[in-house]
Chain A
């Protein structure tokens, strides 16, 4: 197992490095790149850049400086658009917020999705099944950027129950809509995946054997069917995680929650390259780390996987 994790790390590290180098090169190669001095930057930023990256040095050297700064000091350089702040400071401010509602949304998607899917499969062709399938098909076409306005329309503009935005240290009323908006479509996908894989498992020979053993319904579902039925769901956890991080961009923008996504969009619109790169690299790192965890869970569930 340990060797397996190490081997996965060996793939993950170059991936991350490739991402860093790739993003840096794109920016350097871009027309109108600030690194080429064609764009008028505030002089203090330019001075910082000069000092930080050594823009007169060869590109390879610059990349190495950049990477080295990240590894040793967790330093992603100065931000262009937020003049007196570094990228690291901005990330430290926005990231905890994103993680808070993102993690909640992730938990809810998985818990609710799996429950819905299992019940639908177990009561196949009942009214409950049709309802669950109907809801999950419908919810699949309600991504976060559609859910967010709808929620605001209903709960803020019509009913007046929930505040339309803000964060306030993550108090419950401010959390509800971001979490629902973010989790709906993923919950639906997870429910669909769970249902169909559960149905497939229930049709296998070993379930027939288990039934022939007369062990009772609950035991059959929980001890025999659930674990294998979870495998496709586990594979979908990676994309779900990425979806949560990506979706935070919409959430932060729409609900003004102040998470990393808001900074990202502003940075993208204002061509704040260091900030965009910093956030991209950080999410890349998280994604890779999370995929590693997923692989380990997968191997733990399925004993036939060779490490």
Chain B
């Protein structure tokens, strides 16, 4: 058998790069060559479009009840182009096309805002910890270690319970419990950038610490941070859906993909499978989309890594 070593190119034999493209152009070209990533990005765009335009284009609103179907949802509430319920209705006669669009929008928003919160908090924390170094660094990282050992889903549910269930708290809560990995990654990057000449030059010319972190450190780790944040989005959506599935997140009549999947799952035995099918389809599409785009971005920025 052929021995299964990956494509190990003799570094000496690698052909030289012929044109003088910049790092970013190079990365973009590599990303565009990654068919899975480009396809996923397109799918994500379409899903976003649906989640925004969908509700406007339909004659139904998210809360309107179609009294005509309410008696026999299994017969009259099934997906059809004729009735205007493209995805069918739920057991209360509400149109699933617009409700799925709303659920997708809520899930995407929680995912993106959650990732943004995690990104901002994690970057600042990690950059300060890595740049200041010494005792401050070890205390700050010890705190991260401590926080990492806490089962966060439980704490988040505790928070939601105490302060009431609201989407805002969900945004912030999910973001706040997810910044820890980001802080670690950023700290590592900061430590290596700190060694570089331009930072030493800034120090030597008397630039203040805050200014160095803001002007030199953060711009240089932005690439890694953005890639990691993209990979965080699907995790955020998973958290949110988990909590909403339990009925502890988004409240009726609002919906997210998680709560739609939950109500669909609870109606499965009545044969209205479209109730779980459509939300599940968008859930899977969004998650896979973000996973592939994130992977593609990581490979594009750092071609050495991520052959898995």
Contacts and interface: CB of A to CB of B under 8 A. Distances in A.
Partners in one complex: yes
Interface of A: 11-12, 14-15, 18-19, 22-23, 26-27, 30-31, 33, 121-124, 133, 137, 140-143, 145-146, 148-149, 152-153, 157, 192-193, 195-197, 199-200, 202-203, 207, 211, 217, 242, 245-246, 249-250, 253-254, 264-265, 268-269, 271, 276-277, 279-280, 283-284, 287-288, 291
B242 A145 contact: yes
Contacts of A12: 149
Contacts of A265: 246-248
Which of A31, A149, A265 has most chain B Cβ within 10 Å? A149
A271 B154 CA distance: 14
A33 B161 CA distance: 11
Contacts of B154: 246, 264, 276, 279-280, 283-284
B163 A284 contact: no
Contacts of A124: 4, 6
Given A30-B162, A192-B308, A250-B245, A283 B145 contact: no
B155 A149 contact: no
A-B pairs, top 3 by smallest CB distance, nearest first, are A196-B308, A149-B265, A30-B162
Nearest to A207: B5
Interface residues of B, number: 49
A245 B273 CA distance: 29
A302 B23 CA distance: 36
Contacts of B261: 145-146, 149
A123 B3 CA distance: 9
Contacts of A242: 151-153
Which of B151, B262, B307 has most chain A Cβ within 10 Å? B151
Nearest to B234: A141
A223 B131 CA distance: 41
A283 B155 CA distance: 11
Contacts of B273: 153
Contact of B283 (A141, A197, A276, A277): A141
Nearest to A196: B308
Contacts of A291: 149
Contacts of A269: 247-248
A293 to B, nearest CB: 12
24 contacts: A12-B149, A26-B158, A26-B159, A33-B162, A122-B4, A124-B6, A137-B291, A140-B287, A148-B265, A149-B276, A195-B308, A200-B307, A203-B6, A217-B1, A250-B242, A253-B246, A268-B157, A271-B161, A276-B157, A276-B158, A280-B155, A284-B149, A284-B151, A287-B151
B4 A280 contact: no
Contact of A199 (B146, B152, B264, B308): B308
Contacts of B152: 242
Q: Chain A contact residues: over half helix, strand or loop, or mixed?
A: helix
Given A264-B157, A277-B158, A196 B150 contact: no
A142 B287 CA distance: 10
Interface in B149-185: 149-155, 157-163
A32 to B, nearest CB: 9
A141 B288 contact: yes
A44 B153 CA distance: 31
A27 B162 CA distance: 6
A276 B153 CA distance: 12
Interface in B264-291: 264-265, 268-269, 273, 276, 280, 283-284, 287-288, 291
Contact of A196 (B153, B262, B306): B306
Contacts of B283: 141, 146
Nearest to B264: A149
A271 B161 CA distance: 7
B158 A23 contact: yes
B153 A18 contact: no
A157 B238 CA distance: 26
Interface in B127-161: 142, 145-146, 149-155, 157-161
A242 B61 CA distance: 40
Interface string B284-306: 10011001000000000000001
